[in-house]
Chain A
Amino acid sequence: MMHIVTSDNLPIYQLKLEQAFRLRHQVFVEEKGWSDLAKSDGREIDQFDNDDAVHMLCEREGEIVGYQRLLPTTKPHLLSTVLRQLCDLDLPCGDNIWEWTRYCVKRSHRERGRKLSPVATELLTAIVEWGMDHEVDQIVIEMEPIWLLRLVQLNFMVTPLGIPRQIEGEDVVAVLAKFDERTLKMLHSIGGGLPLTAAPTVAYSAGEQLHA
């Protein structure tokens, strides 16, 4: 099931959020080798994990197996600060535009094939559903270009904000992705949006975490 954690309900989610920070450390530091994010306590936490952040946690049998974070574009976020070089256009900014970061799925819950895992589908569906409930219809994403096709196929209306650039040996592109009912319909058709407590049946991938 999904948990949406904000500054409002943070106290009751303290333990689960701890697990999420550890998952982030496992995926981004230990697996992907983003060593500047390494922390001696095994929890990956940065300056953007502040009161404005919305954390989305995917839980399976008491364990946090998927995570993503949304940041308001009206406040400092990755594209406006540390990844500014990825944006060749005006910075997207507005209450309806949030930045999607730290998307990750625990290794054990990725598909062995290259399809979208149930956890990945649930995370993506959660963004769209949360967005529709909060008058948010666009997300900024910094991602590896190999996933672009898939994003477009999911009925996200994708506009690049710059040309892909190399960051620490990896190609990264910033895009603005707009979504609506068609996106949700597509996600449902591939297995998202089942009752959140039940395990979805449809299948993502080894390197499925996006960049930021």
Chain B
Amino acid sequence: MRLGSTDIQNTLSFLTSIKNCNDVDEINRLILQTTNSFGIESFIGGFIPRLTQRPVDQSKNVLVGHWPEEWAKIYFAHNMLYRDPTIRHILLGKQTFVWSDLTTADTLSVNERRVMDKAREFGLRAGCTVPMLSLDGEYVGFSFAGRHVDASPEAKGVMTLLSSFAFARALEIRRSASEHAVRLTRREHEVAQWIAAGKTDWETSIILGVSEKAIAKHVNNIRIKTGAVNRTHAIAECIRCGLIT
């Protein structure tokens, strides 16, 4: 056997399995299972939020991951993203790197060092980060971490490949979920907004300048689309799915 052939075989079997993953939990399990031998205990993958994004929205950029929850909470609440040297390196468009390369370098600012030190408290002592670029030009970062992480070029290489394919699959799953999501027509949307504001069918019909019967029909369509049992339930579903506010 050629040197490195086990790594490529493991990667190929990962590729076969990832295609059969139908939800993010399955992807997460598969990644942990495949990287376990490299000492990986936690990982996270997502788009790098733009500076203008509210802290509360930043965590929504995360597509996959098995990451210490408490650490994620502190991290996003304290806007550590902008003091995180791994994020800075992703935005430089660098190739896959191990964290020890960063921490041994003198280029870390005091704040950046603090972020890395804080991460250690949550078991993220060593790590490896894979920068990627999405089709629409967004930076994507995928970080693997644990107490002891294999920093060999082969391990780095495997993690680089896994990240790209796992992230692509996660994007596909997210897209197909949104394609199957309920969509309201513009009229149905208007009707739902007024019903949610407490208007009756008759009142809504006056506001929109159509017949009361037409409104009743729209409400029934909304009910069928949301799989609701009655109009109150339908409006509740619309709000829950974020179709109306």
Measured CA separation A86–B62 after assembly (Å) = 32
Closest residue to A150 on the B side, CB-wise? B135
B134 (CB) vs chain A CBs: closest residue: A149
- Digit string of B222-236 for contact with A (CB within 8 Å is 1, else 0)? 000000000000000
A163-B154, A166-B153, A171-B95 are known contacts. Are A148 and B15 too (CB-CB below 8 A)? no
Which residue of the partner chain, among B137, B139, B161, contacts A148 with CB atoms under 8 Å?
A: B161
How far is A173 from B96 in the complex, measured between Cα atoms in Å?
Answer: 12
Please pick, from B8, B139, B168, the residue contacting A160 in the complex, using a CB distance under 8 A: B8
Contacts of B2 in A (CB 8 A): 88
Given known contacts A88-B4, A171-B95, is B161 in contact with A163 (CB within 8 Å)?
Answer: yes
Query: What is the interface residue range for chain B against chain A?
Result: 20 to 34
Q: Please give me the residue from chain A that is nearest to B7 by CB atom.
A: A163
Q: Which residues of A contact B168 (CB under 8 A)?
A: 149, 152-153
List CB contacts (< 8 Å) of A115-152 with chain B.
115-116, 144-150, 152
B161 near A152 with CB under 8 A, answer no
A162-B8, A171-B96 are contacts. A149–B137 as well, Cβ < 8 Å? no
Q: Which residues of B contact A88 (CB under 8 A)?
A: 2, 4-5, 7-8
Is the C-beta of A15 less than 8 angstroms from some C-beta in chain B?
no
Q: Is B151 an interface residue (CB 8 A)?
A: no
CA of A152 to CA of B137 in the docked complex: distance in angstroms? 14
Knowing A145-B164, A149-B134 are in contact, say whether A160-B96 is a contact too (CB < 8 A).
no
User: Taking CB as reference atom, which chain B residue is nearest A171?
Assistant: B95
Q: Is A170 at the interface (CB under 8 A from chain B)?
A: yes
Would B134 and A145 count as touching, CB distance under 8 A?
Answer: no
- With an 8 A cutoff between CB atoms, is B27 at the interface? no
Contacts of B160 in A (CB 8 A): 145, 148, 164, 171, 173
Q: With contacts A160-B8, A160-B11 known, is A146 near B95, CB below 8 A?
A: yes
Please tell me the size bucket of the interface on A: 20 to 34
Q: Give the docked Cα–Cα distance between A111 and B133 (Å).
A: 14
8 Å CB contact of A144 from B15, B95, B156, B161: B95
- The CB with the most chain A CB atoms within 10 A, among B5, B15, B160, is that of B160
With A165-B153, A165-B157, A173-B160 in contact, is A152–B165 under 8 Å at CB? yes
Q: Indicate whether B131 reaches chain A with its CB closer than 8 angstroms.
A: yes
Interface check A12, CB cutoff 8 A = no
- Known contacts: A88-B8, A163-B8. The answer to whether A146 contacts B165 by CB under 8 A is no
Distance in Å from the Cβ of A72 to the closest Cβ of chain B?
Answer: 24
Chain B residues with CB under 8 A of A162: 4, 8
Is residue B145 within 8 Å, beta carbon to beta carbon, of the partner chain? no
Q: Does B132 contact A (CB under 8 A)?
A: yes
Contact in complex: B95, A170 (CB < 8 Å): yes
Q: Is the CB of A159 within 8 A of B95?
A: no
* A205 on the B face (CB < 8 A): yes
Contacts of A153 in B (CB 8 A): 134-135, 168, 171
B158 at the interface (CB under 8 A from A): yes
Kindly state the separation between the CA atoms of A158 and B130 in the bound complex, as whole angstroms: 18
Q: In the bound complex, what is the Cα–Cα distance between A115 and B136 (angstroms)?
A: 6
Q: Measured between alpha carbons, how far is A89 from B15 in the docked complex, in Å?
A: 15
Report Cα–Cα, A158/B12, bound state, in Å.
Answer: 11
- Which residues of A49-90 are within 8 A (CB) of B? 88-89
B7 surroundings in chain A (CB, below 8 A): 88, 163
Enumerate A159-201 residues with CB–CB distance to B below 8 Å: 159-166, 170-171, 173, 190
- Could you tell me if B137 and A205 are in contact, using CB atoms closer than 8 angstroms? yes
- Give Cα distance in the complex from A146 to B132, angstroms: 5
B contacts, CB < 8 Å to A: 2, 4-5, 7-8, 11-12, 15, 93, 95-96, 130-140, 153-154, 156-158, 160-161, 164-165, 167-168, 171
Given contacts A145-B160, A146-B132, A163-B153, 14 further A-B contacts (CB under 8 A): A115-B137, A145-B95, A149-B168, A152-B164, A158-B165, A159-B15, A160-B11, A163-B7, A163-B8, A163-B11, A164-B161, A165-B153, A173-B157, A207-B93
10 A-B pairs closest in CB distance? A163-B157, A114-B137, A148-B164, A115-B137, A152-B168, A153-B135, A88-B8, A164-B157, A171-B95, A149-B132
